[in-house]
A and B are shown apart, each in its own frame.
Chain A
Amino acid sequence: MKPKKSKMGVRASSISVSTSEALVVHLTIGLGLALCFSVAHNVHFINLTSHPSQVLGLIWAFQCPTVILLYSRYRKDPERCSYWKAVGRGVLGLPAGAVVNALGAIALGAPVGIQYLPKTINWSLMMSLFTIVPAASVFGSSWTDWQRIFACTKPIDPVDFMICLPAHGVVVGAWFGAWPVPLDWERPWQEWPICVSYGAIAGYLVSLVASFGFILVRQHVKGD
């Protein structure tokens, strides 16, 4: 515990997050996702299986302001970096992260083709929103922080947990979601990117709960 505490001391410049704040953030994002699905279902009468790219587009467009505005509040170095600068970094991170996600998915075997293009774009924008965008808003161009979170998976303070766990959860969920694709069940949801998106969203929700749990436990330990 000791070395970590000393590091915390060094990183005192970032805005700290209380448990209740973390709960609010997690709840907002989780409920936002649920709202997206219910809007798609009840207003537009579509679902992920029948209109994958529309629903994915709805999700990222709907969630984009929520995520960027919420996470920008916890930007590192709040003295030198204004709130709106952090928002701008998040907005820039969205397409950049989408490219990374799309390349990753294609490397793992996602189909390439004109007919898949809108689906892939919308899917990777959604993935980017959950993986890269929060980190872009919070860390900006701090290379060591990025490496710590994504290459080494060593989250330290609550904000790190709020970024790291959901990002990893969404990727792992998408990875597992790709498994039913080659099976011959002849179900419409076995198409790219439907079951991958289901897996990603499921992984995201689970890891939201997990990250909140971690923050709660850590706060509790600290309180002792």
Chain B
Amino acid sequence: MSGLSCTKLTLFTVAGVAIQLVGLSLFVFGFFPVKPTLPGHSGAESFRAPTCNSIRNESLNDLPPHHLTSLYKDLSGIPPAFDRLILMVIDGLPAEFVLGKDGEPPRKDLMEAMPYTQSLLGNGMAIGYHAKAAPPTVTMPRLKAMVSGAIGGFLDVALNFNTQAMVDDNLLGQFFKIGWKMVMLGDETWLKLFPGLFMRHDGVSSFFVKDTVQVDQNVSRHLGHELSRDDWNFLILHYLGLDHVGHTGGRNSALMAPKLTEMDEVVKMIHMTNILNQKNDQGQTLLVVVSDHGMTESGNHGGSSYEETDSLALFIGLKNDVSDYLSSTHNNVDQVDIAPTLALLLGVPIPKNNVGVLIPEIFGYLSEDKQLKALELNSWQLVRLLQAQIPGLSCRNHPCDGSGGDQESRVTKCYGSIERMCCCLYTNAALLKKSWMSKEVSRSNSRKDYTSTVAAYYEFLRTASEWLSRRATDKPVSLLTLGIAAMFLSCLILLSLLFHIYKEVYTREMQCPFDLKSIMQTWCLEETFILGVTLILIISMTSSSLVEEEQYIWHFMASTLHLLLLRKAIQSCVHSFSRGQNKTSGLQMSSICVLLISGRILRGWHQGGVNWTNLPDISKWLEKAGNDNVKSVQLVACLLVIALSLYALVLFGSNRNIVLVIGFSFLVSGLLVVQNILKHQDGMFASSSYSANTLVQITYAILGVSTSGTVIALPWLVPFSISETGLSHDVYMSSASSEVQNKSLLMKLRESLFLIGWAYISCWCLLQLLLQQTINSMPILLLHVQTLASMLYFSYSGLHHNQWVEVSAFYFLGMAGHFALGNSNSLATIDVAGAFIGISSHSTVLSGILMFIITYASPMLFILSMVMYISLKDTSYFVSPSDADLRQLLKMMIGFPCLLPLGLNSILLTAYTIVLVFMSNHLFVWSVFSPKYIYVCTTTICVYVGVSVIAATVTYAYLVLGLRRKKQYKLRHQQ
């Protein structure tokens, strides 16, 4: 029986966890790249060269709108070419439908479907581009990219999960600052992104994908009216119909050509009324037709294939004739290029986080020096962004050094690292511009110098832009592979440790003298079921709707497991019939029934999930019944939790004095919680007052002190009298005495662990009653009942090698309870309000910890209750006379309760990581799979915390008791 030693096991486990942690962080940093964004909005300073010591003159930005307009005009030196803009977004239109592909014109039927647009393109009145969109090709991020020029990562979605509104610098904000009036007709995503910015709006929702007609009519119904008015400067039209056509019928749907014709009619209408017929005094109107993304053959989008990223950018109404510029192969730009182009055309600063490059042909109407000025503005903005991304970036020949004139005007070849490359290219361009400017004064301007300057600028802009956008979307494959490999390795380590423990326990039980062997041979349905559940969970993770509705799975699995355990209880009722142990199985059956009933009520408490949140549930019903009822339910739940805990303590706690002390300190904190509840009878808003905060803080303190006091002091205080071990006084040197001593140590260990476990459970429940929403106090009570009921059940089930089934049952209950408290896999259900209870000053760390405590209330409760579970399991038959030290016993005791949650969680984590990699081009990767991944990661943290608490507590109690035994032994030796 060569078992791993206790120390070795611990070391292996710690190593496994460490490898997992490293792998997880590698993966997270690889999959969700973080890029620093610049806060605030571009103002007048963007028209000056970037300085190294960035002194901001904020006062300029507070100017009234019309001043700001003229200020921008003066500073930039480029008069805005237009003062009205119509942005027509056609959702999901691939540029191929309008511009063709690889120099070929589009398909004939599509050409014929858009006669007016094609004629505009043909006679040079419009210029169209293939604007490459960055993944994820979903509407909201793409709209953001178009108006801000930035490519956002996932983490900035996750970190702003409560506000959908766009806070980064963007074109709409800039327009708003210069006093533009904006009108929006179409997809209501715009309203979510820019609340309060629109003078008039009519949002349509894209909920009914089958509707391809009405959704666009709702946009067009106001169009004629809006076009005839002149009180707006910026009109957004967002047509969803074409995307819906794609989703229902695919790219080659029969409805596609009519839909294109409809869009063509809109373009024609706008062009006829507003661009051809405009009087000069009314200002100039620009029509930009864009699409946010393309679509695949089957009409889906979200990924990064050419069909999906091929979106359109079509400029109509430019002053110059652009037909000679446009060659069909040279019309590829990036979607982000739209933002700086529009900013410079309309005379506002380029948004701060823009990574786009202005589109050259559009500015053909400007004189050469102004074109260079535009390029220079774009470069300045990108240099500022580069400086934010690369902290040490400062170029030697930088204009911001103030000098530069004495430097040799020499254009160098550029090579080396990306910083040096960007720096050098930028300096080259600046030098060339300078020399061109000086030459222009003296001589006639030379065409050649101008071209080379423009080329130098574009080289810099393209390099910087490519590098910046790659940083935002690039997923380093090596990092991801390394992360997954590490997680896989740690999963294997943990599982093999588990298997090892299982084998060891099994062999020990085979050796033990009891008549367990007969039962041990039977095929166990529960064990198969647990393995099956793990498989089912992994499979269900690949389905977006099962991820959204995960609460069904956990409840279904937990209840099925309980039904199987009920069946087992009935089974053992047969076996023990002759021995008169029917009381045991009766108790087991009734505790299972309690578990089932409370589990079902918990399931009905919150509907949960994402898709069917509107279905009726108990919490909605209670809230409808009024606040008073909710309050009284909360009070009842709180009192019941206290009563139940005290009952459990008195019933099982053996030592009178200790029970009294612990019970009293717990009762005090319980009454404080009740006081808290009673005090806020009148409403939620009073809770921010000072006295309430103090009360909450006192409760925290008492709970904390009594729990940690119990944990630390109890192993020292448990009576460990000589009389008990002194029974065999005369033979205590013999091996039999050693066994007795070991057994008594075990008894004491179990006794103190029971009380510590009780303190953990009760204090955690009280803390949750204080922190959770009012409506959640009943579920807390039910979870408490569930913990105690499963304790009752498992304390009677003898077999030890089946322990892993029981620990998994705890894990399942914890996850089912997690969803029963109203959590889901969307970030929207996190209770943010509770995270500020009892915190007087704003502290992100404290609120974060409270938020974690609230969200992971249930899994943590069940992991913590494992301490009590360990104390209830009868491990006495592991004590053999030969074991001089009890380390093996300690290993047996905490082996499963610690390793199983780690192992189960590592399986789920590794599997889900792999699923996420496979789903990285899925339509819902950002909305469903990535939030779920954040939850999976946090669950991992929760398991780590819980398991380390169990291991530390049990080891501490064991060490203290061992120390005391040694002392006593010495004392008696001396006597």
Contact = CB atoms under 8 A, between A and B. Distances in A.
Contacts of A178: 556
Nearest to B536: A179
Given A109-B556, A183-B543, A184-B545, A152 B600 contact: no
Contacts of A147: 570-571, 573-574
Interface string B543-555: 1011011001101
A108 B571 contact: no
Contacts of B919: none
Query: Binding site of B, secondary structure by majority: helix, strand, loop or mixed?
Result: helix
B596 interface: yes
A108 B560 contact: yes
A182 B563 contact: no
Interface in A74-107: 104, 106-107
B574 A151 contact: yes
Contacts of B574: 144, 147, 151-152
A183 B545 contact: yes
A175 B599 CA distance: 18
B571 A151 contact: yes
Given A182-B545, A182-B549, A109 B603 contact: yes
Contact of A184 (B548, B555, B596, B600): B548
B821 to A, nearest CB: 17
A182 B600 CA distance: 17
Interface string A104-148: 101111001100000000000000000000000000000010010
B403 interface: no
A43 to B, nearest CB: 34
Interface string A21-37: 00000000000000000
Nearest to B525: A153
Contact of B552 (A112, A113, A182): A182
B604 interface: yes
A183 B611 CA distance: 10
A112 B597 CA distance: 13
Nearest to B596: A107
DSSP majority for the A interface?
loop
Contacts of B546: 182-183
Nearest to A146: B570
Contacts of A182: 545-546, 549, 552-553, 609
A69 interface: no
Nearest to A153: B525
Contact of B559 (A108, A113, A150): A108
A152 B525 CA distance: 10
B571 A152 contact: yes
B967 interface: no
A61 interface: no
Nearest to B522: A152
Contacts of B571: 147, 151-152
A17 interface: no
Nearest to A106: B600
B517 interface: no
B567 interface: yes
A112 B604 contact: yes
Interface residues of B, number: 28
A66 B789 CA distance: 43
Interface residues of A, number: 19
Interface string B530-550: 000000000000010110110
A107 B559 contact: yes
Most buried by B among A108, A147, A150, A178: A108
A182 B548 CA distance: 9
A1 to B, nearest CB: 19
Contacts, number: 54
Contacts of B543: 183
A178 B609 CA distance: 17
B570 A108 contact: no
A108 B556 contact: yes
Nearest to B551: A182
A153 B51 CA distance: 82
Interface in A135-180: 144, 147, 150-152, 175, 178
Most buried by B among A106, A107, A184: A107
B545 A107 contact: no
Nearest to A107: B596
A209 interface: no
A175 B570 contact: no
B540 to A, nearest CB: 9
Given A107-B599, A109-B556, A181-B552, A151 B570 contact: yes
Contacts of A112: 604
A183 B550 CA distance: 10
A155 B458 CA distance: 82
Contacts of A109: 552, 555-556, 559, 600, 603
A184 B604 CA distance: 20
Contacts of A183: 543, 545-546, 549
Nearest to A112: B604
B592 to A, nearest CB: 10
Residue of A109, A178, A185 with highest tally of chain B CB at under 10 A: A109
Interface in B589-614: 596-597, 599-600, 603-604, 609, 611
B687 to A, nearest CB: 35
B563 A104 contact: yes
A26 B693 CA distance: 72
B824 to A, nearest CB: 12
B548 A175 contact: no
A151 B570 CA distance: 6
A196 B729 CA distance: 67
A182 B609 CA distance: 10
Contacts of A151: 567-568, 570-571, 573-574
Nearest to A147: B574
Contacts of A185: 545
Nearest to A113: B616
Given A182-B549, A183-B543, A107 B600 contact: yes
A113 B597 CA distance: 16
A56 B639 CA distance: 45
A222 B616 CA distance: 58
Contacts of B545: 182-185
Nearest to B552: A182
Of A106, A147, A181, A182, most buried by chain B (CB within 10 Å of CB) is: A182
A150 B569 CA distance: 12
A107 B556 CA distance: 9
B603 A175 contact: no
B567 A107 contact: no
A182 B545 CA distance: 7
A101 to B, nearest CB: 12
A141 to B, nearest CB: 16
Interface string B277-309: 000000000000000000000000000000000
A112 B609 CA distance: 18
Contact of B560 (A150, A175, A181, A184): A175
A69 B571 CA distance: 30
B208 to A, nearest CB: 12
A184 B611 contact: yes
A181 B556 CA distance: 12
Q: 9 tightest A-B contacts by CB?
A: A182-B549, A184-B545, A182-B552, A151-B570, A151-B571, A107-B596, A147-B574, A183-B545, A108-B559
Given A104-B563, A181-B552, 6 more contacts: A108-B563, A109-B555, A175-B560, A178-B556, A182-B549, A182-B552
6 contacts: A107-B559, A107-B596, A107-B600, A108-B563, A152-B574, A184-B548
